[in-house]
Amino acid sequence: MNEGFEIITKAEQPVLSMRTVTPVEKLPEAIGKTLAAIAPYMAQMGGQPADAPFVAYYNMDMQNLKVEIGFPVAAPLPATAEIEAGSIPAGPKAVGWHKGSYQSIASTYDAMGAWMKEKGVEPAGVVYEYYYNSPMEVAESELLTKVVFLLK
């Protein structure tokens, strides 16, 4: 199920993240390990999440997904040898919500693609998914994911 879509403009958002390449079937493990590595460092540095954890998708090759996994943070924090201190760029973004299993999220992507075309806006290539709960906390039908396309 997908919810209403909107175009928003946001300021640059600092993040703590790590990048990796993984097949889609190993993505949940990669997300778990990465967030478990970043969270204690963020806490040690006195940082606070500014939103839910995210995965940025730089391609859609399901055998070699290029992803960035991390947390938006309230204020910039220093990097470590493993953890990058970066940002989500400022500018326009198309935002949509998906409620339901991760396996059904393609319907939201399809609907957002059609909606963006109708609105005359083009995605810039990177897509962010923010995860507001997890399959360990709620039933798959209750999973809530925010999908954000950077726009040209």
Q: What is the pLDDT of residues 106-138, one digit of tens each?
A: 999 999 999 999 999 999 989 999 999 988 889
* Domains of the chain by residue range: 6-151
Q: Residue 76: which of 87, 68, 66, 90 has the closest Cα?
A: 87
What pLDDT sits at residue 135?
85
- For residue 3, what pLDDT band results from cuts at 50, 70 and 90? low
Q: Which amino acid is at 109?
A: Y
The answer to which of 14-18, 31-35, 116-120, 134-138 has the lowest mean pLDDT is 134-138
- For residue 94, what pLDDT band results from cuts at 50, 70 and 90? very high
Can you tell me the mean pLDDT for 15-39? 96
Name the CATH topology of 6-151: Multidrug-efflux Transporter 1 Regulator Bmrr; Chain A (3.20.80)
41 close to 83: Cβ distance less than 8 angstroms: yes
**Cβ-based burial of 38 (10 A; exposed 0-12, middle 13-18, buried ≥19):** buried
